[in-house]
Amino acid sequence: MAELDLTDPKHLAELLEAALPGAAETARGVAPHVEVLRKSDNPAFGHVGVGERVDPHERVASEPPPAAIDQQAQEALALDLGGEGQALEQADPALELAGPPVYAMRGWTEVDRHRAKGKHEVYNLQAKHTRSEPITAAFTGECQAVRVTLPRSKPPTNAFIGTWIGPVEARDHLLFSIDEVEQHYARAFRRQIALQRVDLITGARFRGRRFAPVSIYLGYRDALGEPNFYFLEGGSASGKPESLYCARNLSKTINRKAGFRFTPFACPNNWYEGGLELSQDKREPACVYLSVAQTKAGAHHYLRLSVTYDRDRRLKRVIHPFELQIEAALRVMAIAEQAGCTLRRGQGRTLTHSIGPLVRALLPWDERPKGEATPAERDQFCGCPK
């Protein structure tokens, strides 16, 4: 077995498959993103390659599809690499409080992306993770989200809203219209509600990749007033939407089963308790907070998550989701090896058991993983309780 090489597509693909549930990666799919790690300004990748850095104002080149590519192959491409996409109908301009949405007719090109700059609110997110079982560890991750206004009616599955940080695609969300949010609210609370507007605050898809563990839906009865309720949408590290957590109004919190596994240590039967805090004027998200335990009453609590939102008014750089996925996978490896949890390995078996100490040493941590789990604690917290 070889040491982990973060410039080797085979190693990167196996790392993602081993550490992130549901990730289906190949060296061929990962290869185009290797340079992202080389040029990242994330300190987690300062040791990759020669540690090259990019000018934050430099445009990211977009590879056009070959002229002779067939229709099926083009549809399989990422939208911002020339893939096909369905346009949404223009929304009522009176509802577009944050500036007009940008809708693309076909692929989402680099020119389209730069023309969309400043047309949607973009947020910098600070996600604080504090683990208490079966070992202790704490770190703060950074990512981005964008705010878009959803159409009235459900669009085709290949619909998208183009933004500066990438397309917000209908297929990346469990709900993508005002009608759908109204219907889901009625099912969840057995009460009809008439909405004039729904805003979605979420991670976009950039170069075919997406990282959005938590998205926020804000429902408005009065398009010009304050939001009346919120939904949270949990997603996988590979960008797939997984589960909805609904609050009847802004003062309510959620206490729901997770419904999916974000990391190998999690279990779909774990319970999320938490909610959303808005800014003082009720216009912006301020914080999403969650406490994760194995029972509804909070027994066997093991993780706290706090995500703060800060409006980005300078818009210097898009954080590539691939960076975030690799960083998440590395942190999972470090925590797994400290706790003695076994992760699945790909057929290549290129990963070694020295990754954990390497990651603990090289990545920035608020509290480096420490402690020693007993066999009983591993049975309890390494995935679903045995």
**Contact of 160 with 85, CB cutoff 8 Å:** yes
Query: What's the pLDDT tens digit per position in 148-188?
Result: 999 999 988 888 999 999 999 999 999 999 999 999 999 99
- Residue 348: pLDDT over 80: no
For residue 363, the model assigns a pLDDT of 87
Percent of the chain with pLDDT over 70: 83
**Number of compact structural domains in the chain:** 1
d(CA 81, CA 294) in angstroms, rounded, equals 42
Confirm whether 1 is domain-assigned: no
Contact 34, 50 (CB under 8 A): no
Give residues with Cβ within 8 angstroms of 125, minimum separation 6. 142, 143, 144, 145, 307, 308, 309, 310
Tens digit of each residue's pLDDT (9 = 90 or more) over 16-64: 988 898 878 999 999 989 989 888 888 778 766 543 444 444 444 444 4
Does a structural domain hold residue 3? no
The answer to whether residue 117 sits within a structural domain is: yes
CA–CA separation, 303 and 70 (whole Å): 47
Distance separating alpha carbons of residues 82 and 106, to the nearest angstrom = 8
What is the average per-residue pLDDT within 311-320?
Answer: 94
User: Tokens for 326?
Assistant: 């690799």
Give the 3-state secondary structure of residue 291: strand
Residue 216: closest CA among 153, 145, 155, 291: 145
Contact 155, 177 (CB under 8 A): yes
Question: For strand 197-202 and strand 166-169, is the pairing parallel, antiparallel, or unpaired?
Answer: unpaired
Q: Is 386 inside a domain boundary? A: no
Section 309-314 average pLDDT: 96
**Alpha-carbon Rg for the chain in angstroms:** 21
| Domain span including residue 250 | 9-381
Q: How far is CA 247 from the centre of its chain?
A: 21
Residue 243 maps to a domain: yes
Q: What is the pLDDT of residues 251-299, one digit of tens each?
A: 999 999 999 999 988 999 999 999 999 999 999 999 999 999 999 999 9
Per the CB < 8 A criterion, the answer to whether 250 and 278 are in contact is yes
For residue 252, tell me if it sits in a domain: yes
Which of the 8 DSSP states describes residue 20? S
98 or 22, which is more confident? 22
Burial of 259 (0-12, 13-18, 19+ CB in 10 A): middle
CB 287 within 8 A of CB 275: no
CA distance 341 to 333: 9
Answer whether residue 4 is part of any domain: no
- Continuous segment of H or E residues that includes residue 380: helix 375-381
Is 164 a domain residue? Answer: yes
Cα of first residue to Cα of last residue in the chain, in angstroms, is 30
